Amino acid sequence: MLLLSPILVLAVGGLIVMLIDAFQEQEGGLAMPTALLHFVAAAAALALWQRGVPSDAGSLVHGWLAIDKTTLFLQATIALGGAFASLLAGGYLAEHKLDRGEYYPLIAFSTAGAGLLVAANDMLMVFVALETMSLGVYAMTGFRRTSARSAEAALKYFLLGSFAAALLLMGAALLYTVTGHTDFPGIAAALQAPSPASGAAADDANAAVLAAQFAIKLKISIFAMLLVLVAMAFKVGAVPFHMWTPDAYEGAPTSTTAYMSVVVKAAAFGALLRVFLTVFGDAANASISGGWPAVLSVLAVLTMSVGNLVALTQTSVKRMLAYSSVAHAGYLLLGVVAAPHATAGIAAKSSVLFYLLGYTVSNAGAMGALILAGRRGAETVSYDDLAGYARRHPAAGFALTLFLLSLTGVPPTVGFFGKFYIIRATLDAGYTNLAIIALINSAVSAYYYLGVLVKMYMREPAPGATRAAPMKSFYVVFSLIVAGVLVVWMGLMPERWLSLAAEASGARPAAAAPAEGANNGGAPTPL
Amino acid sequence: MFRPFGGDVNPSLSLTHAYGPVFMIVGFSLFVACAMFALATLMGPKVKPEDRGEFKDTPYESGSPSSGAQHVKLSVKFYLTAILFVVFDIEAIFLYPWGVLFQRLGWVGLAEMLVFLSVLTVCLVYCWKKGALEWQS
């Protein structure tokens, strides 16, 4: 029970918020309770962390969930993202006359699903958690019911999401066929090559049969792995499975976009890390030459490059942020590629966790600053809308500037260190080419982020065009301040936060890790 | 064992063993359906195209004159009712296996079912207060 407290807080709290919504006379006012709920969930995760959870084996909940430090770190990140989204929704929905109460329980339930997803230790649990998370987000995407764009976004997201879930199930079913297990450790154990030394020499014929059987097993499991990979790549929005991202991000209410880009992404990366490091973490599958890191590295390069190049041509800031979130998924995939490496693996994994936390505050902040720039009937979406915005409204303009700089990766912000750690881990793991491509992409991305700044500071709106003016909302301003403080704090003192991420990844005293990894040829540390 | 083509088959693997009766029913139904149409076409009175009247071209509705449009619009209200029905129907179905295992599950099982039911009750209260159960409005 105690181990589940972050999830339980959100689930039970979501029910309570639902009841408040049903019984209160007037709509609205649920943003703060929902945000508090998320903060409590984050605090619960931190309290569990303080209380001490084994970082490698983790505490199993009947084998279904693994509550280890990785889980808790991601749960806290997710809860933080959910809190930002609820606060932003409080400002955005009220401003645009969408403030209906069901939005807030949906956030809470989706975050509960996301919290389960990062803890899932069983294929069935992954599916259930993924659906719990996604169903709420589909509804939140289509929340602007009268808008065709919103409905289109929700339908697209729903159809492609269901398709991805079906692929995931197919992969899980195939894995069950060959291994007889749905739990991660069970599948992993069944996929281990039978060791030739264990008395098999006495019975050559039998050993040959076993070896042949195992070869077939491995072939089917590779197919299953690809299916699972596609499903996960869809959820994180990796190219070529990113097609839903721009439309869903642009059509959804901006608070939902914030939610999708931080919470769903963090949860999907958590699940991706755990599935691939635990289930397919053995030497054959995780080898750099032939296993999934090779496949993922291609995906990562595609994701970074396509995301950045297409973002260059956008005229809508919201759509640009959608493509930029695709590009960021690419940087994150680099960390996943390096994660099974024997020596650099832990650093790679912790860099992914750190990046997710940094990306959560930066992107939620950027979305929030964009929300702040739009008033009722005049939602700011395009570059042109923002012309001269920062000169007329320096504080609001500065907020957007800060978060965009962090997304670009400019030093005093967290975005710089996120990219720095990921690229360092990639280099340490021997992927020099990938690191170079990431650096080039990062430079390219500066063009479109800074393009917003140029518009805001150096251009004047066309005569007759509506002038963007910030809306007045305590919720949005509050979340921007929190996110801004975190962005700068994590940017100024990254080591502190990175050491937390490293602890979450199971870093141990320096001497032990390399010797261990060297023996089994690049096997990753267990989660 | 149904083995029309002979041969030495492992009974546990034989498709015909497991699905033989089903195949027979499918084959029989196909035969009956085709035979009826074939017999009606072959043996029924031949009508020249120019002799086809209004009634010959009308769909057969058990002898009564056909009425109304083919496509009927249903109120969207049915959607909510149907969704709620599915939700609470699944709940009822879930109670059956629990009831069968009630003794073995003991207090833990009772507590878990109470949690499940209370979540659903909250949802029912929510639907009620939100007016999902009202037909008018």
Tell me the domain boundaries of chain B.
1-71, 77-130
Mean pLDDT of A405-426: 92
> Quick check: A19 and B122 CB within 8 A?
yes
The total of other beta-carbon atoms located within 10 Å of residue B24's CB is 11
- Name every chain B residue with its beta carbon within 8 A of the beta carbon of A132: none
The pLDDT value recorded for residue A179 is 87
Q: Under a CB-based contact definition with an 8 Å cutoff, are residues A218 and A191 in contact? A: yes
pLDDT, mean of residues A374-397 = 84
Percent of chain A topping pLDDT 70:
91
Interface contact flag, A15 B119, Cβ < 8 Å: yes
Confidence at A519, pLDDT banded by 50, 70, 90: very low
Length of chain A (residues): 527
Architecture in CATH for domain B77-130: Up-down Bundle (1.20)
- Alpha-carbon gap: B23 to the closest alpha carbon of chain A (Å): 27
Find, in chain A, the residue whose alpha carbon is nearest to that of B119: A15
**What is the rounded CA–CA span in Å between residue B126 and residue B137?**
17
A229's tokens: 């990979």
Residue A99 has what pLDDT? 83
Q: Which two tokens stand for residue A421?
A: 């750690």
What's the gap in Å between the CA of A71 and the closest CA on chain B?
A: 25
pLDDT of residue A508: 58
Overall average pLDDT of the A431-447 stretch? 93
Question: What pLDDT does residue A512 have?
Answer: 37
Residue A22 half-sphere exposure toward CB, CA atoms < 13 A: 18
Residues of B in contact with A18 (CB under 8 A): 122-123, 126
Distance from the Cα of B126 to chain A's closest Cα (Å) equals 6
CA distance A78 to chain B (A): 24
What are the tokens at B26? 């499918």
* Binding-site residues on chain A for chain B (CB distance < 8 A): 15, 18-19, 21-23
Q: Which residue has the tokens 């009202």?
A: B134
Per-residue pLDDT, A112: 96
**What whole-number distance in Å separates Cα of residue A401 and Cα of residue A345?**
34
Please report which confidence band the pLDDT of residue B125 belongs to, taking 50, 70 and 90 as the band edges. Answer: very high
User: B113: part of which helix (H) or strand (E)?
Assistant: helix B102-130
Amino acid identity of B88?
Answer: F
Most confident of A136-145, A285-294, A335-344: A136-145
Q: Is A412 helix (H, G, I), strand (E, B) or coil?
A: coil
- pLDDT at position A195 is 62
Q: Which of A76, A134, A107 lies closest to A356 in space, CA to CA?
A: A76
Which residues does chain A have within 8 Å of residue B122's beta carbon, measured at their own beta carbons? Answer: 15, 18-19
pLDDT of residue A510: 44
Nearest-CB residue to A15 (from B122, B129, B130): B122
Q: Which residue in chain B is spatially nearest to A24 when comparing CA positions?
A: B129
What value does the mean pLDDT take over residues A104-122? Answer: 95
Chain B residues touching A15 at Cβ < 8 A: 119, 122
Answer yes or no: are the C-beta atoms of A117 and A284 closer than 8 Å: no
Contact A127, A167 (CB under 8 A): no
pLDDT score at B137: 65
User: How confident is the model at residue A114, as a pLDDT?
Assistant: 96
CB–CB contact B125 A19 (8 Å): yes
- Averaged pLDDT of chain B: 82
Distances (CA, A) of A222 to A166, A209, B127: 17, 20, 46
Write out residues 90-119 of B within 8 Å (CB-CB) of A. Answer: 119
Work out the burial of residue A79: count CB atoms within 10 Å of its CB; fewer than 13 is exposed, 13-18 middle, 19 or more buried.
Answer: buried
Find the mean pLDDT for residues A236-251. Answer: 91
Amino acid at A122: D
**Which stretch of A25-34, A253-262, B50-59, B82-91 has the lowest confidence by average pLDDT?**
B50-59
pLDDT digits (tens, 9 = 90+) for B3-58: 555 555 555 555 566 778 888 999 999 999 999 999 988 988 887 777 777 777 77
Measured in angstroms, the CA of A450 and the nearest CA of chain B are apart by: 47
Per the prediction, chain A carries an average pLDDT of 87
Tell me the average pLDDT across A347-372.
Answer: 94
- Please say whether the beta carbons of A288 and A522 come within 8 A: yes
Integer Cα distance of A516 and A56 in angstroms: 14
Overall size of chain B counted in residues: 137
Which of A318-322, A401-405, B48-52, B121-125 is the least confident region? B48-52
Q: Do residue B122 and residue A23 have CB atoms under 8 angstroms apart?
A: no
> For residue A430, how many other CB atoms are within 10 A of its CB?
14
pLDDT value at B84 more than 80: yes
Backbone angles phi, psi at A484, to 5 degrees: -65, -45
Q: ipTM score of the complex?
A: 0.78
Q: A455 or B49: which carries more pLDDT confidence?
A: A455
